[in-house]
Amino acid sequence: MEDNQIEEGEKHRDVEVAPALISVHPSQNSVAVAVGSDLRVHDLLGDGVVSLLDNSGAPSHKDSIRAIRYGANGKLFVSAGDDKVVKIWSAESWQCICTVSSEKRVSAVAISNDGQHVCFADKFGVVWVVDLHGIDGSQASVNKKAAPLLAHYCSIITSLEFSPDGQYVVSADRDFKIRVTIFPKKPLDGAHEIQSFCLGHTEFVSCLVFVITLDYPQGFLVSGSGDSTVRLWDITSGSLLDTCEVDAKAGHLESNGSDEGYSTVTGLCVVPDSTLIAAAIQRQVVSIKGENFIPTSLANSSSTGLLWMVTGVSNLPGFDFPSVSRVKVISGFNKSSPDCLEHEPLVLEDSDIPGGMKLLEKLQGSVKVEEKVFSAAAEAVKTAMCNLLIKKQYSSDKREYRKRTRNDKKIKQ
Amino acid sequence: MLEKESNPTISKSTGLPRKRFYRARAHSNPLSDSHFPVPVSPFHVDFSLHYPQFFPSTGEVSHLKKIQFADIGCGFGGLLISLSTLFPETLMIGMELRDKVTEYVKERILALRVSNLGQYQNISVVRTNSMKYIPNYFEKGQLMKMFFLFPDPHFKEKNHRRRVISPHLLDEYAYVLGVGGIIYTITDVEELGDWMKSCLESHPMFEALAEEELEADPVVKLLSCATEEGQKVARNGGQTFQAVFRRIVPTS
């Protein structure tokens, strides 16, 4: 009987659900959504049509995409995930300019501020760096090798960020750690000098973002975690400056079906005027015009006041749709208006979204998606995230059982 | 006291814990998820529990005196006990992943404190996975000496990432070691000895100690003879391979 239980657990792991991801070009030239192995890009400047040029012929990604991101200067775009391939695209021509193979599945990506280095983290906790010097996108896709930069000891890295001044690379993991490492002049030799560790979270750290203010251009680090807090850090010393209990803040929005104690912070986004931070959390169901919407990913561009959200999953078991997604946009975060809180942030009607229905069709795959799918999707994302990041707690019975079945134990008498 | 005498795990003649009651498996998987409590940060470690004589007030975490020596994978604690009398004013801690072994060292230190009044107050032990949680225990540049004596060799290439000395983990050791701090490694496995030496040599934040510095350092002599593992090697007439390196400021 117990064997069955274990087998079931194995089976569950086979159907891995990946949350939908969204990323917006720094000046909102385009928007990218990744659902499962599908990468969808909508151009907001031209006629909206973007076809990804990848000379390999086969689909760009063969398995779930786990990380997408635009470079700070808007020239590059990176996608990576479970198929152990990192694709670096030109964000103008949408030509794949570089393909990097990873030994393990990729969990996070980052692009240095000058666009010369791409970092990605794998499931073994190693962060790799790819040097892009000499690649300008004029030639066809090149294959590059990555060099190990740093490592968290066998902990899944959940998020990677470069500091605004480019001096540090920050990595967060499922062991509550945030490591701030000096980004070296020769990154291919590895980053050995650790500036600080930001310690304070009591569950996995899920997301990182920098806040830049006029008084503090180096920026503060903000992190979201499975312990349902958002914390503010000074990265040079690693000291904790502030903690925000998201549960308490979100209290007034809470739906009646609050069953669990924790709401995991899954996404963070800094509003351009840098006084507001948007946080996406699990459990909480934001009711928008009768639709249940739990964003799986957030994004915005530095130039506009729009906050883009997406929800959805790939490989949703029990439904006809192989992968579903829904895009929403919130406006009202316009910069330099301190009184913006007076008028509530507004969720745009589908037709008011830049790019309109055409964009939605491209990014969602279809305009209308059944509502009940999303509640199922939200549930699936939550389970997937828990399986991935929360440490398994075995009951003492089960632990004893596992010990008993260990085949290397000496038999007494 | 009476209670202790009836306790079979404590030897009646020496008052020390008896090793046979603390047998543990020789190896422990450092990669598995840890289910023991881990301090959130170095400021959350209550030192009054570890060093009651140095930190008399319970509860309030005082940081006047900091731990300076760490024995990573301290095993049965032989090195800590030798170092304790050699550096009576220096706080040191042993870190061990195996629960039973940690219990043994804890009992051993307590028994030594009872039988040698005023001594052995500067050593303690924690059960933790030092490969994962070193930054949770020590602040940047806090340590002056780190010991890695007879670590698990992990021969298979697949398992090399479980080795306690590895290029990436050295970054973390360089973080907790102050400039000038010394890392001591020793093993009886030639292959591992070469590995540890090459890892340290190719790391930009470590440099090897000169021969005469090794001669002058009283701690170097303890490496091969103070620990249980070292004594076992000596008994069997085995060879040992040591690498002693200093933390330096990287030249860039």
Q: Is the pLDDT of residue B166 over 80?
A: yes
- Tell whether B118 is in a known binding site: no
Nearest Cα to Cα of residue A377 among A287, A309, A315, A327: A315
pLDDT of residue A183: 93
Nearest Cα to Cα of residue B122 among B64, B83, B75, B71: B83
Nearest CA in chain A to B164: A153
Let me know: does B175 contact B184? Beta carbons within 8 Å: no
* DSSP element (H, E) containing B214: helix B211-216
- Given A148, A153, A199, which is nearest B132 (Cβ)? A153
Structure tokens belonging to residue A339: 């009184």
pLDDT of residue B246: 95
Instruction: Report the first-to-last Cα separation within chain A, whole angstroms.
Output: 28
- Given B40, B42, B174, which is nearest A192 (Cβ)? B174
What does each of the 413 residues of chain A score in pLDDT, given as a tens digit? 344 443 333 334 445 678 888 888 888 888 888 888 888 888 888 776 777 777 666 667 888 888 999 988 888 999 998 889 999 988 888 888 888 999 889 999 999 998 899 999 998 889 999 998 877 666 666 778 889 999 988 788 999 999 989 999 999 998 889 999 999 988 888 899 999 999 999 888 988 988 887 777 788 898 888 888 889 999 999 999 988 887 666 554 444 333 344 567 777 777 665 555 565 554 443 433 334 566 777 777 666 667 777 777 776 655 555 566 777 777 755 443 433 344 456 677 777 777 777 777 777 766 666 666 666 776 777 777 666 777 666 677 777 777 666 655 555 54
pLDDT of residue A55: 66
pLDDT of residue A317: 59
8 Å CB contact of B250 and A199: no
CB within 8 Å of A281: residues ≥ 6 apart: A228, A246, A250, A263, A264, A265, A266
Let me know: does A80 contact A65? Beta carbons within 8 Å: yes
How far is the C-alpha of A329 from the C-alpha of A298, rounded, in Å?
10
What is the arithmetic mean of pLDDT over B57-64?
57
pLDDT of residue A258: 37
Q: Is the pLDDT of residue B175 over 50?
A: yes
**What ipTM is given for this predicted complex?**
0.86
**Structural domains present in chain B:** 62-247 (3.40.50.150)
Chain B, 75 to 104: residues with Cβ < 8 Å from chain A are none
pLDDT of residue A137: 60
- Given A124, A150, A185, which is nearest B171 (Cβ)? A150
Q: Is the pLDDT of residue B69 over 50?
A: yes
8 Å CB contact of A192 and B172: no
Q: Is the pLDDT of residue B168 over 80?
A: yes
Residues B102-129: tens digit of each pLDDT = 999 999 999 999 998 888 999 999 999 9
pLDDT of residue B3: 45
Let me know: does B220 contact B244? Beta carbons within 8 Å: yes
CB within 8 Å of A14: residues ≥ 6 apart: none
Q: Is the pLDDT of residue B147 over 90?
A: yes
Let me know: does B136 contact B95? Beta carbons within 8 Å: no
Let me know: does B22 contact B96? Beta carbons within 8 Å: no
pLDDT of residue A216: 79
> Percentage of residues in chain B with pLDDT exceeding 90?
52
pLDDT of residue B84: 92
* DSSP element (H, E) containing B219: helix B218-225
Q: What three-state secondary structure class fits A230?
A: strand
Nearest CA in chain B to A201: B40
DSSP letter string, A266-333: EEEEE-TTSS-EEEEESS--EEETTEEE--SEEEE-SSSS-EEEEEEEES-TTSS-SEEEEEEEEE--
Q: Of these residues, B33, B71, B99, B152, which one is catalytic?
A: B152
8 Å CB contact of B135 and A176: no
How far is the C-alpha of A206 from the C-alpha of A385, rounded, in Å?
10
Computed on alpha carbons and rounded to an integer, the radius of gyration of chain B in Å comes to 18
A174 vs B177, more confident: B177
Interface probe, candidates A192, A205, A223, A392, chain B, greatest B C-beta count within 10 A: A192
Other C-beta atoms lying within 10 Å of the C-beta of residue B199:
20
DSSP-assigned letter for residue B157: G
Nearest CA in chain A to B132: A153
- Tell whether B207 is in a known binding site: no
Ordered by start, the domain boundaries in chain A are: 277-400
How far is the C-alpha of A84 from the C-alpha of A58, rounded, in Å?
15
8 Å CB contact of A199 and B136: yes
Chain B, 164 to 203: residues with Cβ < 8 Å from chain A are 167-172, 174-175, 203
Nearest Cα to Cα of residue A169 among A147, A138, A135, A192: A192
pLDDT of residue B36: 83
pLDDT of residue A95: 86
pLDDT of residue A302: 63
Q: Is B139 on the interface with A (CB under 8 A)?
A: no
8 Å CB contact of A192 and B161: no
Nearest Cα to Cα of residue B231 among B94, B62, B82: B82
Instruction: Report the first-to-last Cα separation within chain B, whole angstroms.
Output: 60
Structure tokens belonging to residue A193: 């000098």
8 Å CB contact of B174 and A181: no
What is the count of residue pairs from A and B with beta carbons less than 8 Å apart?
66
8 Å CB contact of A181 and B171: yes
Let me know: does B80 contact B108? Beta carbons within 8 Å: no
pLDDT of residue A11: 39
> Angle, to 10 degrees, between the axis of helix B130-137 and the axis of helix B167-176?
20
How far is the C-alpha of A303 from the C-alpha of A24, rounded, in Å?
11
Give the start-end residues of each E strand in B156-252. Answer: 177-187, 206-208, 241-247
Other C-beta atoms lying within 10 Å of the C-beta of residue A220:
19
User: Is B99 a known active-site residue?
Assistant: no
